[in-house]
Structure 1
Amino acid sequence: MSLIADRSLPLRTTLSLRRKRAREKAPTALSEIFSTITVGLPALAAFALLWEVAPRAGWINALFFPPLSQVLAVLWEMIVSGQLADHIGISLQRAAIGFALAVVTAVPLGFLMGRYPLFERASDFLVQTLRNTSQFALLPVFILVLGIGEASKIAITFYAAVFFLLINTIVGVKSVDPLLLKAARSMGTSDWDLFKKVIFPSAIPSIVAGARLGVKTSLFSVIAAEMLAAQSGIGYLIQNSSLMLETDRMYAGILTLTIVGLVLNYLLVAGEKRATHWHGSGESGPN
């Protein structure tokens, strides 16, 4: 046992030193996010002021673009009544279920395609064909096949997220440092240990970057689905308010969606930086 432990020591030491050096150099994700928000506050305040002044000055029709204060008042009423929380919860639940199904499907498939070239060649054309078919174009198909219930909304969120996760997982597996693979193989590492100790940790940054894109796309897709066929959710709130010419409620729903998207984005940015900091650059995928 001691001989095996001694032989595996260099690989573990290499990975540990990489993580330690990156932690010492990289700033915390929270400090970077706070700095970004602080710098952007003046521009946001100017936009809010313009939103308030333009309708009141008659520059735009207040019926179709009510002042920000009116929108915020309606937003507060929906918060107090609990109506807004119900819509947010339903939309997030739908998006979360679809995203979770995408994770359990795409990540294992991505490891197989990234690790075994023959399997990738056999399945790549199908994957690329489906990937280049817009989820919004397929939304009517999902509704026709699965109905207007929860299944069609979960299906569209799954379809929206699965290819971001799949492609990034493949890229992550293929970008594993060949020296680490050779070192592990030279020490007689089994396939399972190679996956667990080398391939998976090295692919995590790319997977997290794909997850960040997949989460946002899942949320946007479920909003679109709710606008077409739903009786609840943020998308339904926005669409129904628009049809009823309750524009203050409509903008309150849009503002809610913006806030939810911002919170999710910064949480995912923090998670991505935490997952990628030991790689040094912190850049693991598209923004």
Structure 2
Amino acid sequence: MSVQDKTRAPDPEKPPGPPATEPSAARRPPGRATRKRGTGRLTSVLLGLASAALGLLAWTVLANSGVDGFPGPVAVGRRAGELIANGTLFEDAGASLERVLIGYVLGVALAIPVGFVMGWYPVVRRLIEPWLQFFRMVPPLAIIPLAIVLMGIDETPKIFVIFLASFLSCVVSTFQGVVAVDVTLVNAARVLGARDPQVFLGVVVPASTPFILVGMRIGLGASWATVVAAELIAAQGGLGFRMQQAQLYYDLPTIFVQLIAIGAIGLAMDRLLLLTERRLTHWQERR
């Protein structure tokens, strides 16, 4: 056997490795996954732009269809520029946003611990849930006149009804998430020696987080709907108040500007919650 043949002969004590022409999966560069994520984001952006363009087109067609007084995008944009120039839009948006944030944060801050207690202790759940479902069937808008009579016409009744709307939406999702935790996971943690605090923090809280965040998103929408209704009834400023004033003078462009502002601010807040949900529940499988 020649020297060249000896160098090519395999070592009998060493297991054969993967072919030299096919690198292992661990050494393969993650370029394909990165390109796939980049393509998906680009597709989402393009679809969003296409959706916005179709919406503007439908709006323009509807405005030119002969509906009496229905403003088009140009008229609404012109009116929005005027309200931005004199600072009215920012003042109204700031007043409404402040009310929403105060009531929403208070409602969520109370709903999460109450929901955990209701889901973890069946006795507490049976005591509180009937009352919770009772008040949940009463629209927060129906409580606005009572809140104004009892609390006056300042900021307190508006913040209270926003708090109530966000609390009822979030507490139901929270305790439902605790109840829906897989019993197998809880039993497995107990078998491994985990005590109740460890089971609660290590199993129940992570498993119920997606439910909590969904309830927070629902509560955010309920909070914006409630603040607009509250400002329509009794307020000295805010997006809903401006819409009521515009209604008296049949100022449809101003009404459209306020509607778009409410939708844009609410959408931005919802996207932030959605981003938080994806970061906190990155372990969850998604389509």
Aligned to 1:85: 90
Rounded to whole Å, the distance in 1 between the matches of 2:284 and 2:59 is 43
Code of the aligned partner of 2:66: W
Mean CA deviation greater in 35-44 or 119-128: 35-44
Aligned to 2:10: none
Q: CA deviation at 1:103?
A: 1.5
Rounded to whole Å, the distance in 2 between the matches of 1:266 and 1:205 is 15
- CA gap of 1:125–1:33, structure 2 versus 1, over 3 A, is farther
Is structure 2 residue 255 aligned with structure 1 residue 250?
yes
Rounded to whole Å, the distance in 2 between the matches of 1:130 and 1:50 is 40
- CA gap of 1:71–1:204, structure 2 versus 1, over 3 A, is same
Aligned to 1:66: 71
CA contact (8 A) 1:181 1:194 kept: yes
Rounded to whole Å, the distance in 1 between the matches of 2:130 and 2:222 is 23
Is structure 2 residue 259 aligned with structure 1 residue 231?
no
Is structure 2 residue 127 aligned with structure 1 residue 118?
no
Q: CA deviation at 1:265?
A: 2.6
CA contact (8 A) 1:180 1:198 kept: yes
Length-normalised TM-score, structure 2: 0.79
Structure 1: where are the runs of 5+ without partners? 1-23, 283-287
Q: Which has the higher contact order (CA 8 A, sep 6+)?
A: 1
Structure 2: where are the runs of 5+ without partners? 1-32
The count of aligned residue pairs is 254
CA contact (8 A) 1:208 1:275 kept: no
- CA gap of 1:152–1:180, structure 2 versus 1, over 3 A, is same
- CA gap of 1:206–1:50, structure 2 versus 1, over 3 A, is closer
Aligned to 1:268: 273
Give SS of 2:153's match: coil
Rounded to whole Å, the distance in 2 between the matches of 1:84 and 1:187 is 58
Code of the aligned partner of 1:49: L
Code of the aligned partner of 1:219: W
Is structure 2 residue 219 aligned with structure 1 residue 221?
no
Aligned to 2:113: 108
Rounded to whole Å, the distance in 2 between the matches of 1:32 and 1:133 is 42
Rounded to whole Å, the distance in 1 between the matches of 2:199 and 2:186 is 8
Length-normalised TM-score, structure 1: 0.79
Rounded to whole Å, the distance in 2 between the matches of 1:260 and 1:280 is 29
Q: CA deviation at 1:32?
A: 6.6
Give SS of 2:166's match: helix
Rounded to whole Å, the distance in 1 between the matches of 2:147 and 2:41 is 38
Aligned to 2:47: 39
- The percent of aligned pairs where both chains have the same amino acid is 32
Rounded to whole Å, the distance in 1 between the matches of 2:277 and 2:123 is 31
Which structure: greater helix fraction? 1
Code of the aligned partner of 2:88: Q
Q: CA deviation at 1:53?
A: 5.5
Aligned to 1:76: 81
Aligned to 2:138: 133
Give SS of 1:184's match: helix
Rounded to whole Å, the distance in 1 between the matches of 2:192 and 2:72 is 68
Code of the aligned partner of 2:53: A
Deviations 1:41-97 (A, max 9, x none): 445424423534554x57122xx3223212101112222332211211111111111
